[in-house]
Amino acid sequence: MQSIDKLSLNSYTLPELKELFSEWGEPAYRAKQVYEWLLKGKMPDEMTNISKPLRARLNELTYTGVDIERRLVSPKDGTVKYLFRLHDGNLIEGVLMKYKYGNTLCISTQVGCNMGCAFCASTLSGCVRNLQAGEMLSEVLAVEKDTQKDDGKHRAVTNIVLMGSGEPLDNYDHTVRFLKLVSAAEGINISQRNISVSTCGLADKIRTLPDDGVHVTLSVSLHAPNDEIRSSLMPVNRAYPMHEVLSAAKEYSEKTGRRVVFEYALIRGVNDSAENALELSHRLRNMNCHVNLIPLNTVKERNLCGVSREDAHRFCRRLEELNISATVRREMGSDIEGACGQLRRRVMNEGGVE
């Protein structure tokens, strides 16, 4: 894990703050006070019950929060698309999706992405930089502050998915640190059972997650039934071919007892045939898994087109007939550029980033 002397203040865990304050000759309860302020998204100068000298010392540390730059609300389903501005002017996205069981927030883990997946707008300009754990946490805190809580609820955000821009496991240390911060009992305390981490299949990192105390739902971006198709869509498959990814996913499921979700974006004429469904079922047989089918949002830069929802449901029925658990993802936020990277890219093209 990364040395804490390079972390932003809001990336510290409570034990790390207590250790720091002990070195400074400050009592442990001061660390608790500061931690509580950080969970409210406050900077040192806003910590009114902290002495001025201590605030000044805290100001010497880096603080990496986010501000809500734009907020788009879908009149169709209430989905909220957020454009966040980081302290260095970079932009990232988040999406709040409202369901009967609670509110799910999709957050970003990097500014852009290096993985080069053909169907994703986030990767078109590459990866600018990793997010610190505190920046990921700030995405949650900003939305929590912006969203009205349901009656009797302690939090507005009840579930989190790391499926925004970036490959979470390419930013491994900060992703694991964020997961521990957001699930800490003394913090926001969102159970890891209510958190999903999406990866394009960095098999070696998937294998180390359980050993680092991560027991979230693992969502693997598979998107193909064989290596030939997957390599044409996802360059990462050349480094981590399907047999390695599936083996690592199965190992993760066995270690954690959690069902693995395989994301499968249906692309017209590429991976949507009955033969593709049959081949996929052979790959996934005897695994504790579920396939989440996604009718692709058209990516005009790559000339890729999605299938109709009718065709998606036909593919789903074929998988079910082959004894593979599958569903078609509910379409949300399509009228507000809900897909990852679309809003950020448009704003950048309009000159929204200085």
- Could you state, in chain order, the average pLDDT of each consecutive group of 10 residues for the chain (354 residues)? 72 96 96 96 94 96 94 93 96 95 96 91 87 97 91 86 97 98 95 97 98 97 98 96 98 97 96 98 97 82 83 98 96 59 56 47
Please indicate, yes or no, if residue 294 is contained in any of the structural domains: yes
**Where in the sequence is the domain holding 222, given as residue range(s)?**
66-349
pLDDT of residue 339: 55
Q: Which residues pair with 311 in a beta bridge?
A: none
Q: Is 354 inside a domain boundary?
A: no
Active site residue 93: yes
Does residue 202 sit in the same domain as residue 329?
yes
Shared domain for 214 and 339, answered yes or no, is yes
Contacts 24+ apart (CB under 8 A), 310-314: 311/266, 311/268, 311/272, 312/266
Residue 124 maps to a domain: yes
CATH code of the domain in which 277 resides: 3.20.20.70
Among residues 93, 135, 139, 167, the one annotated as catalytic is: 93
47 and 193 in a single domain? The answer is no
Using the 3D structure, point to which of 38, 59, 80 is the last residue of a domain: 59
Last residue of a domain, one of 16, 42, 59: 59
Residue 184 belongs to some domain of the structure: yes
Give this prediction's pTM: 0.90
Question: Residues 313, 235: one domain?
Answer: yes
Catalytic option among 106, 127, 289, 340: 340
| Residue 150: per-residue pLDDT | 75
Let me know whether 75 and 179 are in one domain. yes
Sign of the CA dihedral running 276, 281, 287, 291: positive
Q: Which residues of 167-176 are buried (b: 16+ CB within 10 A; e: fewer)?
A: bbbbbbebbb
Q: Are residues 97 and 21 in the same domain?
A: no
Residue 152's CB: how many other CB atoms inside 10 A?
5
Whether residues 161 and 54 fall in one domain: no
Does residue 218 lie in a domain region? yes
Specify whether 246 is located in the same domain as 341: yes
166 and 25 within one domain: no
Same domain, 160 and 210: yes
Query: Residue 219: which H helix or E strand, with range?
Result: strand 217-221
CATH code at position 17: 1.10.150.530
**What gap in Å lies between CA 158 and CA 173, rounded to an integer?**
24
Whether residue 265 sits in one domain with residue 213: yes
The tally of domains found in the chain comes to 2
Position 354 scores a pLDDT of 39
Residue 306: inside a domain, yes or no?
yes
Q: Respond yes or no: is residue 340 known to be catalytic.
A: yes
55 and 70, same domain (yes or no): no
Cross-strand bridge partners of residue 66:
86
Per-residue pLDDT, 331: 77
Give the model's pLDDT for residue 118: 87
In this predicted structure, what is the pLDDT of residue 125?
81
- Distance between CA atoms of 139 and 91, rounded to whole angstroms? 12
- Tell me what pLDDT residue 167 has: 97
